[in-house]
């Protein structure tokens, strides 16, 4: 294969990635969904890491960053916001943070060379959110998971110059719940730098809300810190959702572009 043929193939693959994510965004948008917790920016360098596996775009930072940029462009073209995850990189772990707390012993130089490259690309591609993972990364903070670590949020803000919204991974994952009480973890995450803490259940959400409210009342959490985060959320809404309208559910079938997905699957050779 000539160099030109390789370049042409690369452009074709990236073009397909953009189109796939545009189709996904069109379908999500038709259903009233305006934020997708993707793309996955993890570089899958450890084949024993099953929690990331084929969720990653590849095993090299170069491949991953190209697809991450394409995914963000496609989602945004379909009016759906994107979220780069799982900062600072979950691709070289053995433990699954859904069930336990993973540790990463790499040096800062190693992380910057591989894991962080796709996140830098995502930031340059105007990703709106970054999701903070539940990992202990020795090069950043040897004591706390990155989702609860002020050092990790400061690294993202100061070293990567990311100015937009930072959200935690699901706070009901056992990487957190095995070691911290729900309310305690919520307050720690917000104090550390999270703009939004993510929960899968309403019960845990209420518990976290009450803990944060109590922390403010007891002056363990400064009110101006919360106001700064709320301001960032409102700015996102003001920028992207000025003309938001609720979806009329009975009209969904007509709104979803039903033909595009099968056509793209056939084009990619994935249609059964």
Query: Helix or strand or coil: residue 125?
Result: coil
Which positions ≥6 away from 164 have C-beta within 8 Å?
127, 128, 129, 130, 232, 236
**C-alpha span between 7 and 77 (Å, rounded):** 24
Are 57 and 65 in contact by the 8 Å Cβ rule? The answer is no
Report angle CA 262, 265, 271 to the nearest 5 degrees: 85
* Positive/negative CA dihedral, 145, 71, 230, 32: negative
Nearest alpha-carbon partner for 236 in 129, 132, 160, 158: 129
Q: How many helices (H) and strands (E) does the chain have?
A: 11, 7
Nearest alpha-carbon partner for 204 in 184, 226, 229: 184
Residues with a catalytic annotation lie at 98, 169
Angle between helices 223-240 and 202-217 (to 10 degrees): 130
For 150-169, letters b (16+ CB in 10 Å) and e give ebbbebbeeebebebbbbbb
């Amino acid at each position: 294969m000539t160099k030109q043929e390789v370049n042409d193939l690369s452009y074709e693959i990236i073009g397909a990635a953009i189109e796939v994510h545009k189709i996904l965004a069109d379908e999500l948008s038709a259903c009233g969904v305006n934020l997708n917790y993707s793309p996955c920016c993890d570089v899958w360098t450890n084949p024993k890491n099953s929690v990331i596996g084929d969720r990653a775009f590849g095993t090299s930072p170069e491949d991953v960053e190209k697809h991450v940029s394409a995914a963000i462009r496609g989602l945004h073209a379909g009016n759906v916001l994107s979220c780069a995850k799982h900062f600072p990189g979950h691709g070289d772990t053995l433990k699954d943070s859904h069930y336990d707390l993973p540790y990463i012993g790499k040096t800062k130089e190693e992380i910057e060379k591989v894991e962080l490259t796709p996140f830098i690309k995502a930031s340059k591609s105007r990703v709106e959110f970054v999701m903070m993972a539940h990992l202990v990364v020795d090069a950043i903070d040897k004591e706390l998971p990155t989702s609860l670590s002020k050092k990790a949020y400061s690294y993202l803000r100061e070293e990567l110059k990311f100015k937009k919204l930072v959200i935690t991974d699901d706070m009901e994952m056992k990487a957190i719940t095995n070691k911290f009480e729900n309310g305690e973890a919520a307050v720690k995450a917000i104090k550390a730098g999270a703009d939004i803490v993510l929960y899968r259940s309403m019960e845990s959400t209420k518990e976290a809300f009450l803990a944060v409210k109590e922390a403010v009342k007891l002056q363990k959490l400064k009110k101006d810190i919360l106001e700064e985060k709320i301001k960032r959320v409102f700015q996102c809404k003001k920028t992207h959702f000025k003309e938001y309208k609720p979806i009329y559910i009975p009209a969904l079938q007509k709104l979803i572009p039903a033909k595009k997905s099968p056509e793209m699957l056939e084009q990619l050779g994935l249609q059964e």
